[in-house]
Amino acid sequence: MSGEKAPNPITREKFDAVLFDLDGVLTATAHVHATCWKKMFDEYLQNRKSRTGEPFQPFEITTDYRLYVDGKPRFDGVRDFLRSRGIKLSEGTPDDPPQTETVCGLGNRKNELINAVLESDGVEAYEGSLALIRQIRREGIEVAVVTSSQNCDAVLKAAGIANIFKVRVDGNVIHDQNLSGKPAPDGFLAAAKTLGVDPKRAVVVEDAISGVQAGRNGGFGLVIGVARKGDSDELRKHGADIIVKDLGELLD
């Protein structure tokens, strides 16, 4: 269906709410996150090479980011990527300085990088996504944003769309409520519960493998994959019912 005009499957008769991921679905920030992850991990791996003599194998956005990091809570992404390289670090604490060689320290270094980019470059929202939101809200369908990012409020404000989402389940909520991150469905289920919506009557919209897995694992009525990275087959394989390149394809 990707690349073609698709009939809008989101109707008031079938669904009461649509739960949107943030980066890569609502805002053009997925590539920024990927770049910052690469910068942080490459810095760390280069430094590790100088201390241990291990060969330097750079972090690859097309594989490492997609498989181990994309869509997950920040510290989970650090841990899963390091595990793929056979590296085990102490967990540390969420307050670790960015220079600390712990899972949390590396995660905080990545957060430092993304905050600098958001402040200097701002954020662009995808017009197709905003147009779809306007359409479904006119039909009385609720919306929420569900993201592993702890920068959700800053991104929404920078994109000028903070007023759209009264219900937000972000990385801070996931941490504070001790929820499991994607591919676990906890964040999406929490949003549905807040809205008072049965998951079978809710739609999940995601661009990450871990995100569509979460939608499928939660038993949601429809999982839409947004394949901006040319990964239609992967998203479909891991749980997306429908694939689009841009949510504007679903407009009536």
Instruction: Give per-residue pLDDT as tens, 9-52.
Output: 999 999 999 999 999 999 999 889 999 999 999 999 999 999 99
> Are residues 81 and 37 part of one domain?
yes
> Are residues 175 and 159 part of one domain?
yes
pLDDT at 1: 45
C-alpha–C-alpha distance, residues 27 and 129, integer Å:
9
User: How many CB atoms are located within 10 Å of the residue 160 CB?
Assistant: 13
Choose one of 77, 105, 121: the last residue of a domain: 121
- The terminus-to-terminus CA distance of the chain in angstroms comes to 15
> Are residues 198 and 134 part of one domain?
yes
> Are residues 69 and 105 part of one domain?
yes
Specify whether 95 is catalytic: no
The dihedrals phi and psi of 21, each to the nearest 5 degrees, come to: -70, 165
Specify whether 16 is catalytic: no
What is the token pair recorded at 187?
A: 């964040």
What is the amino acid identity at position 238? H
- Average of per-residue pLDDT across 151-175: 93
| Res. 191: pLDDT tops 80 | yes
Look at residue 10 and tell me if it is in a domain: no
Task: Select which of 21, 76, 96, 186 is catalytic.
Answer: 21
Whether the CB-CB separation of 169 and 197 falls below 8 Å is answered with no
What is the amino acid identity at position 123? V
Specify the pTM. 0.84
Tally of domains within the chain: 2
Taking all residues of the chain, what is their mean pLDDT, rounded to a whole number? Answer: 94
> Are residues 135 and 21 part of one domain?
yes
> Are residues 138 and 101 part of one domain?
no
Task: Select which of 23, 70, 186, 241 is catalytic.
Answer: 23
DSSP state of 55: P
What is the amino acid identity at position 142? E
What is the amino acid identity at position 4? E
| Res. 2: pLDDT tops 70 | no
How confident is the model over 56-103, as pLDDT tens digits? Answer: 999 999 999 999 999 999 999 999 999 999 999 999 999 999 999 999
